Chain A
């Protein structure tokens, strides 16, 4: 009984993750995308608490807290700061149009379910349905990176991927060992910072953060 409710609640919390990422795919403004990412991270933190609650896993609370601090507060702040600082056109230029992007994303979700099917049968955790979602998030994140011209959007795509992985860890193994999780967060933060700095430098040098202009190194 408890397990069933737990599963329902968790499913309820998982679905928005997908929806949010699809919204980012369809979104055409950088700021809004970052904010959508913030929501997604918050959603993830929530999921984290929920799993921790249902599975009686205390360390997940810490993880959830860290998620809140780093992914909901720090990283979006940094990104928004940079976006404001370099005053780029807020429009997200897309290589692939929104409708086709959405269709592809749907296909990717399908693929993730297809790939994980044999594994799901062997999984006995409540959160097992999150696994395909997590793979879908990873693929969609990568897809966003492929489809968007602005450097900042690539960072966002990367972060969505990372959220997907985080979800996978949460869903399948109830998170990595705390220490590893800490390290991953640290890497993520440093990575985002470094990328932010690079974006800043790129804007200074190229006077754009359009990565399409970064195509001088060939062959």
Chain B
């Protein structure tokens, strides 16, 4: 019965995909079918995975005769169920959102194809987490990539989208190649592609080989996850896709890489090397910090969000890295704590990043621009979207009592637990990474003050923004669901931690829920009791409880009265051009971190009468993307230069060609005889 419930959604997705294509001539019908099926499927698979997770069972279904040397086998264990749960939950929300959102494309683009890809995309993500052999995994992994590539270039008439898609596809394909190598090396020792065999044989391999495999896996999946410096595709690709897809890509697709990384490193490689954890930790810290730094300089709303995905992947990697460190030192409860920190952030990031992307979709639909410099004042036109965006911003900035805070708190705890270990390097590094996390969090808050403030507050800066309208109900529902989740997973973390405990049981054979949750079920403690505790539930109650205080204070002496008047602006009537812009807002940071950004500033001044009367002043500032320009461009150019050189061998002259044959023969006769 359960396996039926596990399989059924897969077929529903398939049905949604096919019917969507079938009805593609009639967009609204196609939309109904595609997203109806997707909604049903994701809801169903959410329930199934939740029930599996709660009961802590793992499920194995196999079909024979899929391919000559493998079988089609899916295994839903704790980790898979957890990820499926997240994917499905986010999918529910984005699907609701999509019902209304895709209307934007009616008559302009093939909605049938969009529905098709949407369903297949979800299907492939779920199958990636379910696959129990390498061939299946790689097939669905690549399917996921390719389908999302098509979604990235959905607006294919835009040069930018095409470029983004290409970079995306190629980079992730390179990553896949490395993953393939990993699997092949496993295959060499197991003579099988079954993950079960990998699990058995993997940990027995030599340390050098396993370290090599670890690096391959880390780079391979890291490309997809978007860790720095392999992230360059991400800020291009995520913004180009339709917003509901961006939500899925940022929210869950890049997490499948985390899933796979955990699966391979924990189960197949038997994480027992300290430096693995250190590498993941450091790269995580780097990604988190640089991700948010670049986000700060970004004025394209969706790209800004994309950079934040890099940041959050970094934070997740911090947790995973600490877990690997603890594992190598055989501190299993702490490893479980760190794993939970990472995994919980996976879910939270899915929720708030999904929410933020959906909101950006709503904004995009209302204003047709992603440039926040052209927005402003939307809070009055789109109060709901603004509210949801605020929830998302607060969550992503890790402000209590929302969910981002809880998982970052857990990450801090695992980092500090690292500080309590006996190993000196870890003792120094872990708290320092904690400091980086602090900086990251603060900068994220800065970035979202900018994003929310410039987008929603003050006066509209363009005609588009002035004419914006609130999103239709379906979209609001989608956003609302996620906003609700941000709150719930923030305020009631103990429930989710007890779910995650099943994951660590299946992954590490360690249960920590009793050590992590106060008897009352209210507060979390980081395994080592008395070190610290957190009860967001109580915090939320406290915050609410104090609400009457200011309310009463305001009315203490006299009834509340206020006058509406224009903003004081040195006596001049306020107009949008006087407002602080996003560029200006982030400029201090840019000045402080000049070395990193290497800004190119350009000021153009024209005078009515020199030097006193300005006619106009144009200030432009671009930052240099170090990785793109210093790392990837040289590689690309080198390859192209080499190609051009090799191409000269095809001279067009038949004499040369004959000479090639001649020389080949002669060389063969001399050397190979």
Q: Do chains A and B touch in the complex (CB under 8 A)?
A: yes
Interface size on B, residues (CB 8 A): 16
Task: Bits for A109-139, please: 1 = Cβ < 8 Å to B, else 0.
Answer: 0010001001000000000000000000001
At the interface, yes or no: A87 with Cβ under 8 Å from chain B?
Answer: no
B669 touches A146 (CB 8 A): no
Closest residue to A151 on the B side, CB-wise?
Answer: B654
A147 touches B650 (CB 8 A): no
How long is the Cα–Cα vector from A159 to B662 in the complex, in angstroms? 16
Task: Bits for B636-671, please: 1 = Cβ < 8 Å to A, else 0.
Answer: 000000000001001111110011011001100110
A142 touches B651 (CB 8 A): no
- Shortest beta-carbon distance, B259 to chain A, in Å? 44
Known contacts A142-B662, A219-B650: A147-B669 contact under CB 8 Å: no
- Shortest beta-carbon distance, A135 to chain B, in Å? 9
A146 touches B652 (CB 8 A): no
- Shortest beta-carbon distance, A98 to chain B, in Å? 16
A146 touches B662 (CB 8 A): yes
Chain A at the B interface: SS class: helix
At the interface, yes or no: B673 with Cβ under 8 Å from chain A?
Answer: yes
Stretch at the interface among A34-42, A46-54, A170-178, A210-218: A210-218
Of the residues B651, B655, B661, contact of A218 by C-beta under 8 Å = B651
Known contacts A111-B666, A115-B669: A215-B658 contact under CB 8 Å: no
Known contacts A115-B669, A219-B650: A142-B658 contact under CB 8 Å: yes
- Shortest beta-carbon distance, A114 to chain B, in Å? 8
**Which residues, 170 to 219 on A, are CB-close (under 8 Å) to B?**
211-212, 214-219
At the interface, yes or no: A95 with Cβ under 8 Å from chain B?
Answer: yes
How long is the Cα–Cα vector from A219 to B653 in the complex, in angstroms? 11
- Shortest beta-carbon distance, A218 to chain B, in Å? 4
B661 touches A142 (CB 8 A): yes
Q: Within 8 Å CB of A211, what residues of B?
A: 653-655
Chain B at the A interface: SS class: helix
A154 touches B654 (CB 8 A): yes
- Shortest beta-carbon distance, B506 to chain A, in Å? 56
Task: Bits for B203-217, please: 1 = Cβ < 8 Å to A, else 0.
Answer: 000000000000000
How long is the Cα–Cα vector from A25 to B209 in the complex, in angstroms? 59
- Shortest beta-carbon distance, A134 to chain B, in Å? 14
Of the residues B651, B659, B661, B666, contact of A215 by C-beta under 8 Å = B651
Q: Within 8 Å CB of B650, what residues of A?
A: 218-219
**Which residues, 296 to 310 on B, are CB-close (under 8 Å) to A?**
none
At the interface, yes or no: A145 with Cβ under 8 Å from chain B?
Answer: yes
Of the residues A118, A145, A147, A212, contact of B653 by C-beta under 8 Å = A212
How long is the Cα–Cα vector from A214 to B651 in the complex, in angstroms? 11
B662 touches A143 (CB 8 A): yes
Known contacts A146-B659, A219-B647: A214-B666 contact under CB 8 Å: no
- Shortest beta-carbon distance, B656 to chain A, in Å? 8
B652 touches A215 (CB 8 A): yes
- Shortest beta-carbon distance, A206 to chain B, in Å? 13
- Shortest beta-carbon distance, A101 to chain B, in Å? 13
Closest residue to B669 on the A side, CB-wise?
Answer: A115
B673 touches A214 (CB 8 A): no
- Shortest beta-carbon distance, B659 to chain A, in Å? 5
Closest residue to B673 on the A side, CB-wise?
Answer: A115
- Shortest beta-carbon distance, B670 to chain A, in Å? 8
B669 touches A111 (CB 8 A): yes
- Shortest beta-carbon distance, B405 to chain A, in Å? 59
Known contacts A142-B658, A142-B661, A146-B662: A218-B652 contact under CB 8 Å: yes
How long is the Cα–Cα vector from A139 to B651 in the complex, in angstroms? 22
Q: Within 8 Å CB of B655, what residues of A?
A: 95, 145-147, 149, 211-212
Q: Within 8 Å CB of A214, what residues of B?
A: 652, 654
How long is the Cα–Cα vector from A218 to B164 in the complex, in angstroms? 31
Known contacts A111-B669, A115-B669: A216-B654 contact under CB 8 Å: no
How long is the Cα–Cα vector from A100 to B653 in the complex, in angstroms? 21
B666 touches A145 (CB 8 A): no
27 contacts between A and B (CB under 8 A): A95-B655, A111-B666, A111-B669, A115-B669, A115-B670, A115-B673, A118-B673, A139-B662, A142-B658, A142-B661, A142-B662, A143-B662, A145-B655, A145-B658, A146-B655, A146-B659, A146-B662, A154-B654, A211-B653, A214-B652, A214-B654, A215-B651, A215-B652, A217-B652, A218-B650, A218-B651, A218-B652
Known: A118-B673, A212-B655. 12 other contacts (CB 8 A): A111-B669, A111-B670, A139-B666, A142-B658, A145-B658, A154-B654, A211-B653, A211-B655, A214-B654, A215-B653, A217-B652, A219-B650
Identify the 3 closest CB pairs spanning chains A and B, nearest first. A215-B652, A218-B652, A146-B658
- Which residues of chain B have a CB within 8 Å of any CB of chain A? 647, 650-655, 658-659, 661-662, 665-666, 669-670, 673
